[in-house]
Structure 1
Amino acid sequence: MVRTGARANALKGAMIDAGFATADNNPAAPRVESLPRCLAADVMHLYATLGGRDPAPHFRPGTWDLAFEGELLVELDEQLHFNRYRATTLHEDWAMPLPWRDGYLRFCDEREAECLADGRWGKRWSNRSCEVMFGRGDEPGILAGGGSPRWKQRAFYDAVKDAFALTTRSYRVARLSIYDRIGDIELGEALSLGIGLDPEALTSFIWKRSASAPS
């Protein structure tokens, strides 16, 4: 298994080679309370749909994976991001405009076994902060009933960033998956093996996968 963060660093290098310049600062992660009121309510409804506990704790999505000049934020989603809970977030009506939605739904359906292989143990399955949000889960590897609190938390935080992407006019947000194909190779394979990516194809794909609020 590739060390967490190694592929993100490789992607940063590939993007620099393609002409992108890294930003001096990585913006703070979005917060539910900073979203437009109606969308924040939809996100909280999603939290309940995933089994979120009431009262909800203070949510703390992680920082952005990569930030570049031109106010471009990039998330690289690896195998633990593709499962039934992430699919639930993408089936929300408000998520329909997301440019990565259709591809990600396909990956959630086709690649959940890989998520299970890497995410069925230890803190990848559950931890205290996840259980505060979603309660105790099932035994590792069992997805019926309580399932995996950590998977639910990750899917919910991905959805918070999705909501931000649809409402921000200050940034463009792009999501890339290790399962995406750039030219004739999967992105994750290229990043893991150090295989060069065609700069024009990579740039075109990034802009195709980026979102922001309509002007």
Structure 2
Amino acid sequence: MTKTGARVTALDRLLQGAGFPSRPAERGPRLSELAQAQRTAIGGLYRSLGGILDEPELRPGGWDLAYDGIRVELDEEMHFNRYRAVTLGVDPIASAPWAGAYDDYCRAHERRSGTGGRRWSSPSAERMFGAAAPQWTFEGGGAPRWKQRALYDAMKDVAAAAGAIRLSRVSVYDVIDGVRLEDLLRGRAVVPPSVVRTFVESRAFGVNR
């Protein structure tokens, strides 16, 4: 399987070829940067996913790709499961242009979220959500790392909805001009960079900064 980093690099090459001006990498959003309403929404999601801390320290990773006016997240297989589906159904995330397609992917591709390495759980995820259940068991603690990833994705979505950033999410399962994005990024098919750019811009959500 192509590594996520290689797929991000391939997407970046396409988008820069289509005229997206890149900018230095940036860290992800922090709760302190959001308004009270957004912080409350994230807190509610954390509890609904089984969070066990009163004041968790939430630190999403940096944006996958940063360009002038837009940030782009490339979501690979690990991002689609029942926990991410929970976050996609709440306001304001439910109004994002990718929400409907992503909900379908969560239902169709959960088995590809994976359990190897730290995909199912990790020490930092267990501090946030408690001990993991056995792999592929969703009673009790379920998959803490899946929950953590879903929550961090939701924080980025909420930051865009709040106007902190303009965000576009695309998935390896998306189909662009009849070709799955995964195949484009693997070099198995070719689509003009301008077509990829148009698709990415159609997924934009939030203000233009």
Bucket of the pairwise TM-score, normalised by the shorter protein: over 0.9
**Structure 2 unaligned runs (5+)?**
none
Q: Match of 2:19?
A: 19
Q: Match of 2:7?
A: 7
Q: Match of 1:140?
A: 135
| Equivalent residue runs for 1:187-206 within 5 Å | 187-193=181-187, 195-206=189-200
1:72 aligns with 2:73: no
Q: Match of 1:181?
A: 175
Contact 1:64–1:74 (CA<8 Å) still a contact in 2?
A: yes
CA distance, structure 2, for counterparts of residue 17 and residue 132 of structure 1: 42
TM-score by length of 2: 0.94
Q: Secondary structure at the match of 2:20?
A: coil
CA distance, structure 2, for counterparts of residue 173 and residue 93 of structure 1: 16
Contact 1:130–1:153 (CA<8 Å) still a contact in 2?
A: yes
Q: Secondary structure at the match of 1:173?
A: strand
CA distance, structure 1, for counterparts of residue 104 and residue 41 of structure 2: 23
Task: Report the Cα offset of residue 71 of structure 1.
Answer: 2.3
Q: Which moved more, 1:189-198 or 1:35-44?
A: 189-198
Contact 1:183–1:198 (CA<8 Å) still a contact in 2?
A: no
CA displacement, residues 13-34 of structure 1 (integer Å, 9 cap, x when unaligned): 11111121211x2233101221
Task: Report the Cα offset of residue 194 of structure 1.
Answer: 5.2
Q: Quick one: which amino acid aligns to residue 184 of structure 1?
A: G
CA distance, structure 1, for counterparts of residue 198 and residue 55 of structure 2: 39
Contact 1:121–1:140 (CA<8 Å) still a contact in 2?
A: no
| Equivalent residue runs for 1:110-149 within 5 Å | 110-115=108-113, 119-149=114-144
TM-score by length of 1: 0.92
* Cα separation, partners in 2 of 1:189 and 1:144, compared to 1, 3 Å: farther
Q: Quick one: which amino acid aligns to residue 3 of structure 2?
A: R
CA distance, structure 2, for counterparts of residue 107 and residue 51 of structure 1: 22
1:211 to 191, 205, 208: 205
Q: Which moved more, 1:196-205 or 1:49-58?
A: 196-205
Q: Match of 1:63?
A: 62
* Cα separation, partners in 2 of 1:194 and 1:14, compared to 1, 3 Å: farther
Runs of 4 or more consecutive aligned structure 1 residues displaced over 6 Å after TM superposition: none
CA displacement, residues 59-118 of structure 1 (integer Å, 9 cap, x when unaligned): 1100000011x2211000000000000000011132222111101001101111222xxx
Contact 2:38–2:162 (CA<8 Å) still a contact in 1?
A: no
**Structure 1 unaligned runs (5+)?**
none
CA distance, structure 2, for counterparts of residue 167 and residue 93 of structure 1: 11
Q: Match of 2:150?
A: 155
CA distance, structure 1, for counterparts of residue 116 and residue 26 of structure 2: 31
